Amino acid sequence: MAVMGVATVRNLLDCLRSYFNIRYAILLVPICGFAVYDSVFQAFSSILAVLRDSYPDVPVTVIQMIVALPPMVSVPGTLLAGVLAAYIRKKYLAEFALAIIFIGGMIPVVVPQPPLEAMFLCSGLVGLGQGFLHPLANAIICQRWSDNDERSRVLGFKQAFNYIGEVVVILCIGFLALGRWSNAFLIYLGIIPILVMTHKYLPAGELDRKFIDRSHRSQGLHDLTRPKVIYLFALFFTASLFLYGYYTNIALHVQGASLGTPADVSVATCTISVVSLVVGVFYGALSRKLGRFTLTFGFAVLALGMVVASLGESLVVILLGGVLIGVGVGIQQISTIYYISRAVSSHSVTLAVSVVLACVALGSSLSPLVLNGIEFALLGAASPSAGLLVAGVGFAVLTLIEGGQSSLCRAE
């Protein structure tokens, strides 16, 4: 019996060692480094309530747009990065992106009592830098790791590092803001060591094939206009629209119901990152188990989590909703890149990733306007809890759509 137990443990360790053993592991040092900062601005949702108090004469929707603006501004940056990757090596694009993010993030720190225009300039510069940065890491992974199983694992590892960074960033932002809300932006000082790591470890790499090259133009257009690819663009645009409803409403919901402080909101948001981290590490195994229905399962869990958070009357229930949302977020965000990378040829991956990330960014930016519009149309007024509930119903609809699509594909 003891021998069998030892053999079982050895087999488990061998499986884990095989799962985490990947080629080109050194590339994950810079990739996971700037993955921390490619979407960090959403972590500032925890100080939205404090920002609203600092600008009492400004409508709530405008305050929400401070957090929602970076995804919108990142759209042209993301698309431009996809095109420029054929002319400028990814390492230099990444260094430029990090520098722009640092400059934008320091604005509230160096400008005392920044006017609203300065806050939008901060958001705009950070969004532009994020737009350049986000597709680069994913494109490097999708092109370097061609095996589907290994690619899904590496994307999961990269996303796990992203969540590790989010945990640290979210907690730091919440507690830095307890002194003065603008202190939260000191978190962007962390760009400096990330920039050093990128310069030291990320190889310059090869240029991508030019999308406008005469001999390959038709193949690229064909890849990006196939029905399956267009469906994925629309699907992830809509999913991001509902997902960002959490980040633009949770702080207002917690404060409005007197459930906690900005630090408590940071802990709730941090819960999502912690759970998503675990999901990211084992996404490869999860996708093998669920197959075509991996994303369907993620949408279903997101729907349940949003509804729980919207109905939460205590911080414990909010945290429970955060756990469920964390599972769904981990699946959705990794699936976005994994699904689109499998739907196009390797020569079109960089631009396809850029387009889908532009769709995600656009959906995130429009989230406050669309969700508040739906609330006004159905309820005659907008509230944070109603916004979370609308997002939950939206994910329930996406579950049915993606589930039906996956069933049809399996039948074929």
pLDDT digits (tens, 9 = 90+) for 8-47: 545 544 554 555 556 666 666 777 777 777 766 666 777 7
- Which of helix, strand or coil describes residue 348? helix
CA 318 to chain centre: 20
Place of tokens 């990006």: 224
Interval 46-73: pLDDT, tens: 777 777 778 888 787 788 788 778 877 8
> Cα-flanking dihedrals φ and ψ of residue 16, to 5°?
-65, -40
Q: 327, 275 in Cβ contact below 8 A? A: yes
Give the pLDDT of residue 324.
Answer: 92
What is the rounded average pLDDT of the residues 305-324? 86
Q: What share of the chain is helix, strand, coil (3-state, %, to 5)?
A: 85, 0, 15
Residue 341 has pLDDT above 70, yes or no: yes
Interval 182-219: pLDDT, tens: 888 888 888 888 888 888 877 776 666 665 555 555 55
CA 137 to chain centre: 13
Q: Please give the DSSP secondary-structure letter assigned to residue 210.
A: P
Dist CA 364 CA 44 (whole Å):
14
Dist CA 73 CA 92 (whole Å):
20
Dist CA 221 CA 153 (whole Å):
29
Q: 345, 146 in Cβ contact below 8 A? A: no
More confident residue, 240 or 173: 240
Q: Please give the DSSP secondary-structure letter assigned to residue 314.
A: S
CA 343 to chain centre: 20
Q: Which of 121, 77, 69, 76 is nearest to 97 (CA)?
A: 77
Give the pLDDT of residue 215.
Answer: 53
